[in-house]
Structure 1
Amino acid sequence: MPRWSPDAALRLEAAAMSLFERQGFAGTTVPQIAAAAGLTTRTFFRHFADKRDVLFLRDRELPQAVSDFMESVPAESSGAAMVRAGLTEACRGIHGWREPIARRRNIVRSEPALRERDLLRSHYLGQAIEESLTARGIDAQQSHTLAAVAVTCFDLAMDRWLEGPEDIPLEDALTSVWSDMRDWIDA
């Protein structure tokens, strides 16, 4: 087996996803994942703390990406406009990942421990949004509230996108959820 591989984390992710779908999360071991990726168990642990981590590889980048997108919004925009623009750009950035996101979602929903970890992902996303808004001069309380609403809207948009027709962009699902939230709150 090779000692070093530049794409090891991605190979491990692909192998894990395949094994989790075939054998279930609980029925899959780290050595099996490493072997299926053509790597060693030691290499697995260089990249991931445990087999749960391999499912959340791409989530490491999302909070920073949303923060970066929000920073590109003109400073004179309202907090809500910054959040919408940041999430819209994030939607555009991950639109092509529908199939792997749907696969991962099915695996996550099959295990309570994975659902707990997914909630942590939402927390980190909200924290990144809140920090970005605060750094842009938005009041701390407003930043906190907008971040919580943004994460809820993003998660609901993801549900609509994955459960709806394949030709609907994630960005459209986000726009629909955001509009519904506004309408229902104002009603």
Structure 2
Amino acid sequence: MARWEPGARERLVVAAVDLFTEQGYDATTVTQIAERAGVTKSTFFRHFPDKRELLVAGQETLSALLAEGIAAAPEGAPPLDAVAAGLELACDAMGPANRELGPRLKAAVAASAELQERDALKSVGMAAAMAEALQGRGVPEVQAHVAAELGVLAFKRGFSAWSEAEAERAGSFWDHAAVAYEELRAAGAALVHGGS
């Protein structure tokens, strides 16, 4: 077997999610994940320190994309517009394989308290990256955190809608995240101004 087999990281994530769904997180071993992915156990450990880390695979890249999009938003753009720019950049980096994995990942997380905890930490990391990028644009701390949390919620709602959509109607992730973002933005305005 080749030492650094192309696509091994992605295959490990898919194998783990499938096994977590089929037999539960606690019953799944690193050896089983490696075998299902067609790699050695040592290859697994070159990519991940343990099976918990599979859930947050790509989090650093995702957080970096969110922050990069926010930083690249036009000068003077309101904080929520900068968040939208970050969301769009991150969403555009995700393709059909991410969409197909979504429902299986959701089921695996729902069945494991430990995976729910890791998923929550992933959300915290995304929010922190966006808030820091907003503060780098001069947005006050409290506003930056509120805008970042709205961004995380839009990301999660958009991903859920995208991954559950029928393939021929799925469109892009950004299509769904943009709708979720606008709904949340309108809901926030309704809270401030009253109405429904």
TM-score (norm 2): 0.83
Q: 1:76-110 CA deviation, whole Å, 9 max, x = no partner?
A: 21111101121122222224321023322222222
CA contact 2:162–2:170 (8 Å) conserved in 1: yes
Provide the residue aligned with 1:26 in structure 2: 26
Shift of residue 128 of structure 1?
0.5
User: For the structure 1 residues 138 and 15, does the alpha-carbon distance in structure 2 shift closer, same or farther, using more than 3 Å as the test?
Assistant: same
Coordinate RMSD, CA, aligned: 2.2
User: For the structure 1 residues 17 and 168, does the alpha-carbon distance in structure 2 shift closer, same or farther, using more than 3 Å as the test?
Assistant: closer
Amino acid at match of 1:171: W
After TM superposition, where is structure 1 displaced by more than 3 Å over at least 4 residues in a row? Answer: 1-8, 163-166
Provide the residue aligned with 1:132 in structure 2: 133
**How many residues are aligned here?**
187
CA contact 2:18–2:104 (8 Å) conserved in 1: no
CA distance in 1 between counterparts of 2:164 and 2:37 reads: 30
Provide the residue aligned with 2:117 in structure 1: 116
Which range is displaced more, 125-134 or 17-26? 17-26
Query: Unaligned stretches of 5+ in structure 2?
Result: none
Map 1:42-61 onto structure 2 (within 5 A).
Answer: 42-61=42-61
Percent of aligned positions that are identical: 34
CA distance in 2 between counterparts of 1:77 and 1:162 reads: 30
TM-score (norm 1): 0.86
Residue of 182, 187, 196 corresponding to 1:184: 187
Partner-residue secondary structure (3-state), 2:94: helix
Task: Please say if 1:80 is aligned against 2:80.
Answer: yes
Residue of 148, 151, 176 corresponding to 1:173: 176
User: For the structure 1 residues 152 and 4, does the alpha-carbon distance in structure 2 shift closer, same or farther, using more than 3 Å as the test?
Assistant: closer
Amino acid at match of 1:24: G
CA contact 2:55–2:119 (8 Å) conserved in 1: no
Amino acid at match of 2:5: S
Provide the residue aligned with 1:91 in structure 2: 91
Shift of residue 2 of structure 1?
4.4
